Amino acid sequence: MLQDTPSFDGDVKKLDEGSITESADAVLSVRHLEIGFNAKKVIRDINLDMPRGHVVALIGPTGSGKTTFLRSVNRLNDKISGFWTKGSISLHGEELLSKDTDLLELRRKVGMLFQRPNPFPMSIKENVLAGVKAHRLAPKSQHDEIVRENLEKVGLWKAVQDRLNDSPFRLSGGQQQLLCLARSLAVQPEVLLLDEPTSALDPISVEAVEDLLRKLVPEITFIVVTHSLAQARRISDHTMFFYDGKLMESGETENIFNDPQMPETQYYISGRMG
Amino acid sequence: MSYEIRDHKKRSASRRIANIVVLTLSSLALLVVIAPSIWIVVQILREALPHFSFSVLTKNGVGLGGGLRNEIVGTLVVSIGVVLLAGTIGILSGIFLAQYARGRLASILRAASDILAGIPSIVLGYVGYSALVVGFHWGFSLGAGVITLSVLVIPYIAKTTEVALRQVPINYIEGAEALGFKPTRILSRITLKTALPGITTGLIVAMAISVGETAPLLYTAGYSQNLPKLTLTHSPLGYLTYAVWTFYNQPTKTALQLSYDAALVIMVLILLLIGISRIIVAQTQRHAETSR
């Protein structure tokens, strides 16, 4: 147990207003972000820049606020009663937390993959097309092509090409998650938020998903919440360590794991906490 | 800490006895449920089939004889009216209760709906009579009958719709939100579709109730041996339950036979409704998570 939380220093500081030029290639910029539910503050004054075209891992103990943060980026917490935010999250300089934000378009640009695979109760083909149809992204004549392209991207095409009209629930858990990924990719997002995307999968499927992420950058920026430090190490270029609602430390994954600056980070990655 | 465990044989004997008792009791309960249904079906078939002629379906009633065409068409017209009216209002109320109603408003609405559901049908019939037949000067009529029966089944449809909508997994809904679905699209493509078996079942049961209900119609629809006029007011019409109830008490044999014929037709209609609902459910749930 840690006695007290040290103040912000080190890595985080350079992200403050003074040095925004440094983050010109940031896809997401977060400034003075505070998030809470009623009187409870879950995220405290976070500042960060997500580098474009990389895999970013968010790590930290349970309750550190990483999932709350993730779900705030595409405004999925909006409907939860008592939820509030302060500060700013912007996508290419465009504010996401404003009342005028076009939520539907935001969610097209910033997709999400959940912990448990959640294909819709419609055919495999319709699942891939769900977002394409919702946003009217392409004429009907291109639908077959889109289905094929995205299923090929996730490596499912061969397995399902003969049963595109079947129920997705006959697929294995790993295949269902890949289908969900194909569904997200089909709307051509810039950022994909992944909330422990492999924690419900078997090891072989985990590998398939991880390989895919590596293959799909730099076209897409992935922000991955994970409880597996090994996974964070394997797949991410950058790692951000959340602790008690604060961004304790962030930097290149290699540096975070080999040379952590903050005592909390050292504790956590050495497996003595969380 | 250690203690002497009881003899294995004794334990397994008591477990076996418990098993037998539970199995016996639940089988008996099942029998109590099934036996009356079978008995009713057999009894109606035995009484109706020997003299059954298809002319019963094609001829109107004449006095205490003739056929049941006017009643059959009347029952169908009323039921379709109820499904259209009560179905629309009931499903919309269910959607409102499941998705939009919050806090005090929600509990008031639910309480009102529960109270309405608890009112005996004959009381509703009387209210329909005094409000519509007499109050609005509609006379015995299709409109009064449909509205009164609708009031009877709306709470039921609203409830089944609400429950069905609430059971839609949050996974689906969040998935659709995260993909940028509009709320209306989530409702139409995900929520309603997933809830459809529950909603359909509610509608079918409501329809079965309106096929089988008597009291509200006696007060509001009156009776006629002509085919129903498709006007809402001043249009008394026949319906099958009237034939069952009235002809059964008449002294002639043909009337008694007509009563059984009407019961047979009601039974067949209800079985058809159940069959149709099964088909709808099977068709819409081909891609459901739990295959039925």
Q: What is the ipTM of this complex?
A: 0.85
B70 and B37 housed in the same domain: no
* pTM for the predicted model, two decimal places: 0.78
Please check whether residue A2 lies inside any domain of the structure: no
Mean pLDDT of residues grouped by 10 in chain A (274 residues)?
41 40 72 94 93 93 92 92 92 91 94 94 95 94 96 94 93 94 96 94 92 92 94 94 93 93 90 68
B128 and B113 housed in the same domain: yes
Please check whether residue B290 lies inside any domain of the structure: no
Neighbours of B219 (CB within 10 A): 24
B258 and B171 housed in the same domain: yes
Domain hosting residue B181, numbered range: 55-284
Please check whether residue A135 lies inside any domain of the structure: yes
Q: How distant, in Å, are the alpha carbons of A76, B28, B227 from that of B223?
A: 58, 42, 11
Taking CB atoms and an 8 Å limit, are B180 and A107 in contact across chains? Answer: yes
Interchain contact A191–B (C-beta under 8 A): no
B178 contacts in A (CB within 8 Å)? 74, 76, 107, 111-112, 114
Angle at CA of residue B274, ends B272 and B277, nearest 5°: 110
Q: Which residue in this structure is represented by tokens 């950022």? A: A191
A118, A164, A185, A195: best to mutate for the B interface, most B CBs within 10 A: A118
The region, left, alpha or beta by phi > 0 then psi within -120 to 50, assigned to residue A53 is left
B242 and B147 housed in the same domain: yes
CA distance A72 to chain B (A): 11
Please check whether residue A244 lies inside any domain of the structure: yes
B38 and B80 housed in the same domain: no
CA distance B151 to chain A (A): 34
Please check whether residue A107 lies inside any domain of the structure: yes
- Give CA–CA dist A89/A91, Å, rounded: 7
Tens of each residue's pLDDT in chain B, 292 residues? 678 887 888 788 888 999 999 999 999 999 999 999 999 999 999 999 988 888 888 888 888 888 899 999 999 999 999 999 999 999 999 999 998 888 888 899 999 999 999 999 999 999 999 999 999 999 999 999 999 999 999 999 999 999 999 999 999 999 999 999 999 999 999 999 889 888 988 999 899 988 988 889 999 998 888 888 888 889 899 899 998 988 888 888 888 999 999 999 999 999 998 888 888 888 777 777 764 3
Please check whether residue B269 lies inside any domain of the structure: yes
Please check whether residue A30 lies inside any domain of the structure: yes
B44 and B70 housed in the same domain: no
Total domains in chain B come to: 2
Pick A107's closest partner by Cβ from B171, B178, B285: B178
- Give CA–CA dist A124/A169, Å, rounded: 9
B291 contacts in A (CB within 8 Å)? 167, 169
Angle at CA of residue B6, ends B5 and B7, nearest 5°: 120
Q: B181: nearest CA in chain A?
A: A134
Helix (H), strand (E), coil (C) string for chain A: CCCCCCCCCHHHHHHCHHHHHHHCCEEEEEEEEEEEECCEEEEEEEEEEEECCCEEEEECCCCCCHHHHHHHHCCCCCCCCCEEEEEEEEECCEECCCCCCCHHHHHHHEEEECCCCCCCCCCHHHHHHHHHHHCCCCCHHHHHHHHHHHHHHCCCHHHHHHHCCCCHHHCCHHHHHHHHHHHHHCCCCCEEEEECCCCCCCHHHHHHHHHHHHHHCCCCEEEEECCCHHHHHHHCCEEEEEECCEEEEEEEHHHHHHCCCCHHHHHHHCCCCC
Taking CB atoms and an 8 Å limit, are B287 and A184 in contact across chains? Answer: no
B165 and B185 housed in the same domain: yes
B180 contacts in A (CB within 8 Å)? 103-108, 131, 134-135, 187
Interchain contact A163–B (C-beta under 8 A): no
Please check whether residue B3 lies inside any domain of the structure: no
Please check whether residue A205 lies inside any domain of the structure: yes
Contacts of B203 (CB under 8 A, 6+ apart): B83, B87, B90, B91, B157, B277
Q: Which residue in this structure is represented by tokens 């910029």? A: A29
Pick A134's closest partner by Cβ from B179, B285, B286: B179
B39 and B178 housed in the same domain: no
Taking CB atoms and an 8 Å limit, are B174 and A76 in contact across chains? Answer: yes
B288 contacts in A (CB within 8 Å)? 121, 167, 169
Taking CB atoms and an 8 Å limit, are B175 and A74 in contact across chains? Answer: no
Taking CB atoms and an 8 Å limit, are B287 and A180 in contact across chains? Answer: no
Structure tokens belonging to residue A138: 């392409």
What was the pLDDT predicted at B66? 85
B46 and B82 housed in the same domain: no
Which CATH number is A80's domain given? Answer: 3.40.50.300
Taking CB atoms and an 8 Å limit, are B172 and A76 in contact across chains? Answer: no
Burial of B137 (0-12, 13-18, 19+ CB in 10 A): exposed
Structure tokens belonging to residue A101: 């934000």
Please check whether residue A84 lies inside any domain of the structure: yes
Interchain contact B289–A (C-beta under 8 A): yes
B104 and B129 housed in the same domain: yes
A123 contacts in B (CB within 8 Å)? 287
CA distance A209 to chain B (A): 18
Please check whether residue B65 lies inside any domain of the structure: yes
The letter for the amino acid at A225 is: V
B153 and B280 housed in the same domain: yes
pLDDT tens-digit profile of B133-156? 999 999 999 999 999 999 999 999
Interchain contact A150–B (C-beta under 8 A): no
Please check whether residue A65 lies inside any domain of the structure: yes
B176 contacts in A (CB within 8 Å)? 120, 130
The letter for the amino acid at A13 is: K
Do B187 and B95 meet the contact criterion of CB atoms below 8 Å apart? yes
Helix (H, G, I), strand (E, B) or coil at B62: strand
Do A31 and A231 meet the contact criterion of CB atoms below 8 Å apart? no
Q: What sign does the dihedral B264-B270-B276-B278 (CA atoms) show?
A: negative
Domain hosting residue A247, numbered range: 10-269
B39 and B61 housed in the same domain: no
Please check whether residue B289 lies inside any domain of the structure: no
Of B27, B80, B107, B48, residue with least CA distance to B210: B80
CA distance B23 to chain A (A): 35
B185 contacts in A (CB within 8 Å)? 134
Instruction: Report strand pairing: A221-225 vs A191-195.
Output: parallel
A77, A120, A191, A194: best to mutate for the B interface, most B CBs within 10 A: A120
What was the pLDDT predicted at A191? 95
- Cis peptide leading into residue A218 (ω within 30°): yes
Taking CB atoms and an 8 Å limit, are A169 and B175 in contact across chains? Answer: no
